[in-house]
Amino acid sequence: MIFSSNPCLGPVSMKFFERETVNRNLRTPRPSLLPYKPELSVSALYRGSRVGGDFYEFLPLSETRTLFVLADIAGKRAEALHIAAAVQDAIQERAPELLRDGNANVSDGVTSLTLELNRSVMQAAGGVRSAPAFVGCLDEQFGLMHFVSAGHPPALVKGSDGITQLDPNGLPLGLFSHATHDAQISVVPPGSSIVMVSKGLIELSAGHREFGLERVRQILEEQSFPSAQHLCHEVLERAAKFAEQPSSFGPQFSIPGFRSSNEPNDHTVMCLMRMAYQTAAAD
């Protein structure tokens, strides 16, 4: 930091060329382990530009109940991942207490967990920090998903009768300490897929067009996929090809040291696919 030597002006700080100090206390979340269930195909894939704060987590709660979270935490990547680590701790500690019991009210449990994640974001950030998030709990026994979409891009549920869009039903996490979120319910029978994408993927631009949620919907309408991993891979591949399209205004130039308004963010796709097995007829 540079200070003025003129006593009349007093100390004047100039931060234009100050090198950032690395905070050695910042943490990063542990790698999320995909649950293994024969009746459930699960995947999460991303292409990271190392400028975003996309974070996902899976947590098997019982043989038929799985928690999953996808969040996009605002701010510099190191700080965002530090907050994600605190969110992960809260998920690992509180989700089993609220949702593992077979007699637990799943809607109430997801609501309570979301409120605690909201407090975890604000506490780790030391104040306000926008963190759009989708918090869901899939209960395979009853074919239901209880969820809170806190300012997150809509999730899509593909079933035999079409595609259902689950719009946000609350503000992003990290904005208000006393924000309320109420869990909603969606039917997810065997053979259905739950698909979520990050804001960075939806806002991926080529020229003056965005990739958008509608293109994700089209992919789900056009194809059937053998696994969640195949679905996630196809969405990311389509997004990459879309970004490579030339602009109608001619080639785009990149100047070192200057961030383009079209520079990509993290692109994340998450999918939970309930497998539809054919049962043999009884003799």
pLDDT digits (tens, 9 = 90+) for 173-187: 999 998 889 999 999
User: How far is residue 113's CA from residue 130's CA, in Å, rounded to a whole number?
Assistant: 17
Q: 48: pLDDT confidence band, cut at 50, 70 and 90? A: low
C-alpha distances (whole Å) from 45 to each of 71, 237, 258 are 14, 11, 28
User: How far is residue 116's CA from residue 119's CA, in Å, rounded to a whole number?
Assistant: 5
DSSP letter at 270?
A: E
Q: Between vectors from CA 198 to CA 262 and to CA 39, what angle results, nearest 5°?
A: 150
Kindly state the tokens that stand for 70: 């996808």
Q: Among candidates 275, 277, 268, 216, which has minimal Cα distance to 68? A: 268
User: How far is residue 147's CA from residue 158's CA, in Å, rounded to a whole number?
Assistant: 16
Strand runs labelled E in 11-53? 40-47
**149 has a pLDDT exceeding 50:** yes
Angle between helices 212-222 and 228-243 (to 10 degrees): 130
Q: Among candidates 89, 130, 136, which has minimal Cα distance to 114? A: 136
**90 has a pLDDT exceeding 60:** yes
Give residue 72's Cα distance to chain centre. Answer: 5
> Domain spanning 40-191 has what CATH number?
3.60.40.10
In sequence order, what are the beta bridge partners of 201? none
**40 has a pLDDT exceeding 70:** yes
- Rounded to the nearest 5°, which phi and psi values hold at 39? -90, 0
- Sheet containing 193-197: give its strands across: 40-47, 267-274, 193-197, 155-159, 162-166
Determine which of 39-48, 194-203, 249-258 has the lowest per-residue pLDDT on average: 249-258
- Rounded to the nearest 5°, which phi and psi values hold at 79? -70, -40
Contact indicator for 241, 154 with CB cutoff of 8 Å? no
**Longest pairwise C-alpha distance within the chain:** 98
Q: How far apart are the first and last CA of the chain?
A: 83
Entry pTM = 0.83
Q: Among candidates 279, 271, 278, which has minimal Cα distance to 40? A: 271
| Mean pLDDT value of segment 227-239 | 96
Determine which of 22-26, 40-44, 243-247, 270-274 has the lowest per-residue pLDDT on average: 22-26
Q: 108: which residues sit within 8 A by CB, 6+ positions away? A: 183
Contact indicator for 45, 268 with CB cutoff of 8 Å? yes
**269 has a pLDDT exceeding 70:** yes
3-state secondary structure of 185: strand
Q: Please give the radius of gyration of the chain, using alpha carbons only, rounded to the nearest integer.
A: 22
Total Cβ atoms within 10 A of residue 88: 24
